Structure 1
Amino acid sequence: MTKIKASSSLNPITFSLVIAAAIFVLLVSMFIAISYGAKEMTLSTVWSAVIQYNPALTAHQIIHELRLPRVLGAAAMGAAFAVAGALMQGVTRNPLADAGILGINAGATFVVALSFAFFPNLPYSALIALSFSGAVMSTVFIFLLGRSSAGGLTPLRLTIAGAVVAALLHSLSSGIAIYYNLAQDLAFWYAGGVAGVKWSHLQLLVPVISITLIGAFALGRQISLVSLGEDIAVNLGVKTKRIRVLGMAGAVLLAGVSVSAVGSIGFVGLVIPHIARKIVGVDYRFIIPLSALLGAVLLVVADLGARMVNPPRELALGIMVALVGVPFFLYLARKERRSL
């Protein structure tokens, strides 16, 4: 039986070093992000607030109640968006796949807009469930639309269908916001941000994201085979339909719950898997865990940058990510067009 290992020159020791380096960069980024804010904090104050929290100290309260959940939320959602993109790129064999580009985020945001209009007092757990259901419905519709044309579903048709559905759902969400005077309430969901993440949110989101990430790691080998082509995967005994369903289900779950917490942030799932692929090769056993770490780093650093551009005002997190993601998307789209 052909082994995936042959397709990647990365050995376990090198991969362990890469993961260790990514973890180190993530921890340093998180510590810097926790330290920065409107109120200056010394490194010793930050360290003591994290390790030995004292609720009687104002500085500790700021770090523990505001900055720490914000930074942890950015790391968790960055990992979720990045792995969602990696899963979609692997199972669809589409290098342009991303929860934002394919309209999955737009579906979640649309259902959030509906819930704000008709059920404004829903608990956060219900909002997560609705956001996920919106992501599922938009994904199903996109796949049906992409497969309706002659020739079946191709990476290009999937991208076009996702762009069309995303535009439609964003327009509908904007219409609902205007009609029901929700523009200010939904501004956060359009621009994206982690300023509103609380400990209560993390208690719901982190277990869901963690379990889904573990499942994604377990699918790494099968997704690598699927990404090589239908015939190769079937000949090697992979149940391709089952893997595609599981991979897309994981991607939709990660994207849906993340949108419910931080809004519709695109391009993380597009950019990060490609960077991971450049570092560790084409094996998704390596791509998925590294994407999780790099995605966490990207969103933590982007949130820090959003706070540093014009303090004390903050730039929308989605804008900071788009400054990197849009040029990268145009580059990939041009490269993909040449290969057709």
Structure 2
Amino acid sequence: MTAPGTVLPVRRGAALAGLGSAVAVAVVLSLAVGAQDLAPAAVWRAVVDPIPGAEATAIVRDLRLPRTILGLLAGLALGAAGALMQGHTRNPLADPGLLGISAGASFAVVIGIQVGASGLTGYIWFAFAGALLASVLVFGIASGRRGGPTPVTLALAGMAISALLSAFTQSLLLSDDASLNVYRFWVVGSLAGRDAGVAAQVAPFIAAGLILALVNAPALNALGLGEDVARALGQRVFAARVVGVAAIVLLTGAATAACGPIGFLGLVVPHAARALTGPDHRWLVPASALAGATVLLLADVAGRVVVRPAELQTGIVLAVVGAPFFIALVRRRRGAVRL
């Protein structure tokens, strides 16, 4: 008979195992489903024993495998970043873009287009640099008071910088039609058209961000009780904030740079994960990462199917599905959105 004290960890472990299985299913669907559906056996053969020149090999290895790997990485990143952002701000409506990351990346991409950067491999470094600079600026402004940044100052500084950078971005785009035409394909948020080089470029940053997120998770449990209580428990609040913001910047900056701004994922996924694991961030952060990867890959698959043989961008699918899902989640599971 299981001891009462072990029931909750067992359930949380089962939830993580279930989410891991869901990720595996989403990966298979991402490789098999598209404008031309492939049998699982053909997908397996194309991955482990490719036949040069075969149609299935070209479809899987050249088109779908890089896209699937990038979707897996970006989903892990945005899911974990969403859990961290809501934990640090103690705001259930917060998402990773609240630190100005999306606005900074967008502004830098426009600058990159205007100075002659071409292709995703050119834009990605501009986008990542813009995300980093915007986040550092937000954190610096929010820290300009005794005691360091607080959830309120982080949110206010993030909104102010986002509004400022968005205004700069729009003014640049309105004065340059060529930049607007290129920018609009990046800003919609998509996994399509990304080759293996893009995933390889962002993978180290996402890996570092995930490590920092897991390290930061225990501190969020103390911070959730309030900063004064956290200090009384021996928690170094400022250090925890720095580690958390660094993780959010690495995760969201890399994902945004590679895929464009993808909304709703970092906002909705942590609530669903919290319903499975509870509020303990040691379990919530990895659960949110796995749920984020599953949702992003499934949204990408749905985008290939609903208007086949054309495609609907992943960012649009998530917006269409995410808005009503979030409304229903807030109305029906009020206990799951309290931090």
Coarse TM-score class (shorter-chain normalised): 0.7 to 0.9
Query: How high is the TM-score relative to the length of structure 2?
Result: 0.86
2: distance between equivalents of 1:95 and 1:127?
32
1: distance between equivalents of 2:230 and 2:284?
18
What CA RMSD, in Å, does the superposition of the two structures yield over aligned residues? Answer: 3.0
2: distance between equivalents of 1:318 and 1:134?
20
Residues 1:72 and 2:69 are matched in the alignment: yes
Aligned residues: 329
2: distance between equivalents of 1:10 and 1:90?
25
Q: Does the C-alpha gap of structure 1 residues 244 and 101 become closer, same or farther in structure 2, counting only changes over 3 Å? A: closer
Q: Is the 8 A contact 1:192 1:263 kept in 2?
A: yes
Q: Which residue of 2 aligns with 1:15?
A: 12
Query: What does 1:289-328 correspond to in 2, within 5 Å?
Result: 289-327=286-324
Q: Which residue of 1 aligns with 2:186?
A: 189
- Per-residue deviation, 1:22: 0.7
Q: String of CA shifts for 1:153-209, please: whole Å, max 9, x gaps.
A: 765665455445434433432332342311221112211100122111122222321
Q: Is the 8 A contact 2:88 2:151 kept in 1?
A: no
**What secondary structure, in the 3-state scheme, does the structure 1 residue paired with 2:97 have?**
coil
**What secondary structure, in the 3-state scheme, does the structure 2 residue paired with 1:219 have?**
helix
Q: Does the C-alpha gap of structure 1 residues 323 and 89 become closer, same or farther in structure 2, counting only changes over 3 Å? A: same
Q: Does the C-alpha gap of structure 1 residues 311 and 84 become closer, same or farther in structure 2, counting only changes over 3 Å? A: same
Q: Which residue of 1 aligns with 2:281?
A: 284
2: distance between equivalents of 1:190 and 1:52?
37
- Per-residue deviation, 1:67: 0.6
Structure 2 runs not aligned, ≥5 long: none
2: distance between equivalents of 1:62 and 1:316?
19
2: distance between equivalents of 1:59 and 1:23?
26
Q: Which residue of 2 aligns with 1:169?
A: 165
Residues 1:231 and 2:225 are matched in the alignment: no
Q: Is the 8 A contact 2:120 2:194 kept in 1?
A: no
Q: Is the 8 A contact 2:82 2:96 kept in 1?
A: yes
Q: Which residue of 2 aligns with 1:86?
A: 83
Instruction: Report the residue type matching 2:313 in the other structure.
Output: A
Q: Is the 8 A contact 2:35 2:310 kept in 1?
A: no
Query: What does 1:139-218 correspond to in 2, within 5 Å?
Result: 139-143=135-139, 155=151, 158-159=154-155, 161-180=157-176, 181-218=178-215
Which of 249, 252, 260 is equivalent to 2:249? 252
1: distance between equivalents of 2:137 and 2:204?
28
Q: Aligned residues: percent identity?
A: 37
Q: String of CA shifts for 1:35-81, please: whole Å, max 9, x gaps.
A: 11222322211111122222331211110010111112111101111
Instruction: Report the residue type matching 1:262 in the other structure.
Output: C
